[in-house]
């Protein structure tokens, strides 16, 4: 019974100790703090203090945009080479594969350029602005290997495939 009475008294003391709204000595409540800019000194009424604010203007000239990616892709298309044929005048992605034919020895592909002209190509021919070559022609696709610069400036192979039927992916 004494244990129960002691536990009840301790419980009441804990409850009454948590309800106090006094702060620790030497500390002010957070709501009563005054910012240092709001503190003013009283001066004689004859003195007028003028405060001049310096206006800051940001000059973006010569600085990079912080919201753009540091690794940006080069959007500039390679220029057409002098003396290049019609095969090296357009990107590989702009060409359209129309038909594929073959005989006993090799395959032939009929492609249409963006200027609506058609040409017949075979394996080993140069194709595209990046100096690509027709790597392989199969019954339903043309495989083209180009050598392009990556984001580090290293030259790496990039394989493109022109499919006869674009729905088959």
pLDDT tens digits for range 20-59: 555 555 555 555 555 555 445 555 567 888 888 888 888 8
DSSP 26-81: T---GGG---GGG------TT------PPPP----TTS--TTS-SSPPP-PPPPPP
In a domain, 159, yes or no: yes
pLDDT confidence of 144, banded at 50, 70, 90? very high
Whose CA is closest to 96, among 116, 125, 80, 126? Answer: 116
Distance CA 159, CA 144 (A): 6
Q: What is the pLDDT of residues 89-139, one digit of tens each?
A: 888 888 899 999 999 999 999 999 988 999 999 999 988 888 889 999 999
pLDDT band at 13 (very low <50, low <70, confident <90, very high): confident
Domains held by the chain: number: 1
Q: Is residue 128, in this structure, part of any structural domain at all?
A: yes
Look up the pTM and report it.
0.50
CATH number at residue 132: 2.30.30.830
What is the rounded CA–CA span in Å between residue 125 and residue 12? 94
Calpha distance 123→54 (Å, rounded): 71
Q: Which range marks the domain in which residue 133 is found?
A: 86-163
């Amino acid at each position: 019974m004494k244990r129960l009475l002691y536990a009840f008294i301790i419980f009441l003391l804990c409850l009454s100790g948590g309800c106090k709204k006094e702060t620790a000595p030497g500390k002010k409540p957070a709501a009563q703090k005054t910012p240092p800019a709001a503190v003013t000194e009283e001066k004689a009424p004859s003195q007028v203090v003028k405060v001049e604010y310096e206006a800051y203007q940001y000059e973006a000239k010569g600085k990079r945009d912080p919201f753009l990616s540091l690794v940006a892709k080069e959007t500039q298309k390679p220029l057409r080479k002098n003396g290049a044929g019609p095969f090296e005048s357009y990107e590989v992605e702009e060409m359209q594969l129309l038909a594929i034919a073959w005989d006993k020895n090799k395959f032939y592909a009929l492609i249409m350029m963006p200027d609506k002209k058609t040409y017949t190509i075979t394996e080993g021919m140069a194709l595209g602005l990046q100096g690509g070559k027709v790597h392989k022609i199969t019954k339903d696709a043309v495989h083209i290997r180009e050598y392009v610069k990556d984001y580090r400036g290293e030259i790496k192979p990039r394989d493109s495939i022109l499919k006869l039927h674009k729905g088959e992916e």
